[in-house]
Amino acid sequence: SGPVGVGFIGTGMISDTYLENLTSFPDVQVVMLGGRNQTRVRSQAEKHRVEAWGTVAEVLAHPGVELVVNLTVPAVHARLTSQAITAGKHVWSEKPISIDRDAGRALLEQAAAAGVLLGVAPDTVLGPGVQTARRAIARGDIGVPLSAQTVMQYPGPDIFHPDPEFLFAEGGGPLFDIGPYYLTTLVHVFGPVAAVAAVGSKARATRTVQVGDRRGAKFPVEVPTHVSAVARFAGGGVSQSVFSFESPLVRMGVVEITGTEGTLVVPDPNQFTGAVMITRAPGLATMTAPPVWESVPLVGVLAGRGTGVLDLARSIRTGCQPVASGALAYHVLDTLVAIDEAVASGETVAITSTVGPVPLVADGWDPFAATL
């Protein structure tokens, strides 16, 4: 009983928002930070008033750490998650769960054998934005959902990230970096993916760091930086998606779900909230008029990154499964890899994994309540 002890592996750019939130949730206690760059680790510990800091090995050996938050780069997610499971820790990993299917499957099997829970980002889909949209669909507000389109396009993370190389390496690119937000949302709505087809391109062989102390440094681009994908879901729905680090025309967070009775606009799945809107089919005489929008009132408590860690922590105590589960993350990874394979081969690729219906976040779920 009592708060779940949390330790961090990795204290990079994304750790600030995690720490700001997790140090404010009463059901968890951040007890130690760890990573390779000890100067950075110590600085983050002092900034967020975390008492202990040290190496990765010291985090995994800390008896007060029950749950490890893995914020390392994608290429080492699987290795460090496996080390944490071996140490008997529950794990929350940033997305993706791994960068290949074999490592992802192995993690699910290892966690099950060890009797620990595995949760994986994104947890944005647990916020009021996507959860309100899902409730609207469940009520039948747009009839039977049939199709979706999503768009995420901008010039790329090298315009703001001081160390962007990993975002253009294997396990990165717009597909693996941003794709999990959109594909996870689509699986929440339509259920498991059955097959995908895709095309992709890479505009430049190298890019340049544009901000920070390393500004001007060049680095290789190892993956497609523009991907267009279509998916067919096992339940019959279809989707089309654009993931691009190549566009000077910024369009972020476009998620539109069309059903038999209307189209639902879902907020940016990389955010926790936003406007949920519905438009109905116009009559012939009004086809050229602007759409008429109905606003769907938001439900739920807005928190932020770390919400999934908290859901995992509460699941540890209650014996439940987390909403942002390892099984869901593996199915999304399987889909991402299949899209990558479709880009390379030009063929439609069947998805071999599946996942059960993703539950809604419970009514009244409050990150700021003490429940343990």
pLDDT band with cut points at 50, 70 and 90 for residue 281: confident
Compute the distance between CA of residue 137 and CA of residue 135 in angstroms, rounded to an integer. Answer: 5
Q: How much is the pLDDT for 279?
A: 94
Q: How much is the pLDDT for 291?
A: 84
Q: Is 82's pLDDT higher than 70?
A: yes
Q: Is 287's pLDDT higher than 90?
A: no
Mean of pLDDT values over 32-46: 96
Alpha carbon distances (Å) from 77 to 10, 83, 94, 331, 333:
10, 10, 8, 16, 13
pLDDT band with cut points at 50, 70 and 90 for residue 320: very high
Please write the tens of the pLDDT for every residue from 203-245: 999 999 999 999 999 999 999 999 999 999 999 999 999 999 9
Mean of pLDDT values over 357-363: 96
Mean of pLDDT values over 322-350: 98
- 3-state SS, residue 129: helix
Q: At 184, which helix (H) or strand (E)?
A: helix 179-190
Q: Is 293's pLDDT higher than 70?
A: yes
117-129 residues labelled b (16+ CB within 10 A) or e (exposed):
bbbbbbbbbbbbb
Peptide bond into 96 cis (omega under 30): yes
Compute the distance between CA of residue 318 and CA of residue 310 in angstroms, rounded to an integer. Answer: 12
Mean of pLDDT values over 71-87: 96
Q: How much is the pLDDT for 20?
A: 97
Q: Check: CB of residue 331 under 8 Å from CB of residue 233.
A: no
Across the chain, what does the average pLDDT equal? 96
Q: Is 352's pLDDT higher than 60?
A: yes
Higher pLDDT, residue 65 or 282: 65
pLDDT band with cut points at 50, 70 and 90 for residue 284: low
Q: How much is the pLDDT for 365?
A: 96
Token pair belonging to 314:
């509460």
Q: How much is the pLDDT for 171?
A: 86
Token pair belonging to 195:
């097959």
Name which of 44, 47, 34, 67 is nearest 308 in CA terms: 67
Compute the distance between CA of residue 263 and CA of residue 203 in angstroms, rounded to an integer. Answer: 34
Q: Check: CB of residue 202 under 8 Å from CB of residue 225.
A: yes
Handedness of CA 273, 225, 177, 46 (dihedral sign): negative
Q: Is 143's pLDDT higher than 80?
A: yes
- 77-91, 161-175, 281-295: the lowest-pLDDT one: 281-295
Angle (CA) 366-357-104 rounded to 5° is 90
| DSSP state letters, 238-268 | EEEEEEES--SS-EEEEEEEEETTEEEEEPP
